[in-house]
Amino acid sequence: MVALLAIHDLFREGKDGYFIAANFGWFDPRYETFRKQFLKETKRKGIKFYHLFSHEVKEKAGERIKEVPNNTYKFLPKKYCTNSAIDIFGDYVVTYNGITFSNIDENVTIFVLRDQCLAESYRTWFRMIWVLLPESK
């Protein structure tokens, strides 16, 4: 449940989210009720999501990827996928270790940084990766 506390910050900030190596952790079955409410509210607030999904999401998510509202995404090459991820929104950078496809490990490690300059730097790096990746199919 600790992993979801950072997601509450995203909702509270109301800023667009940029996600690097996203692994569909929100779709962990233990958090289904929370996920549905969260995605409904972010849709209502017009929060946009920009995902650089793990290649595993491409292989396993199928049509479920369309459940995320206001979602623009690309996929990382398979050889660059890990069980770590980075979320960037507002002044926040949240780094996770222990997330695999649709699963947040019970011993997940989370670092939450709140710094406007660092968050903007991470968004800049996100944009660079985005430009270098091909369009999703």
The domain at 2-132 falls in which architecture?
Answer: 2-Layer Sandwich (3.30)
The predicted structure's pLDDT at residue 137: 63
Side-chain-side CA neighbours of residue 3 (13 Å): 26
C-alpha to C-alpha distance for 27 and 34, rounded to whole angstroms: 10
The predicted structure's pLDDT at residue 38: 83
The phi, psi pair for 95, rounded to 5°, reads -110, 135
Q: Mean pLDDT for each 10-residue chunk of the chain (137 residues)?
A: 63 87 88 85 90 93 87 94 93 92 89 95 98 86
The predicted structure's pLDDT at residue 135: 85
Residue ranges per domain, the chain? 2-132
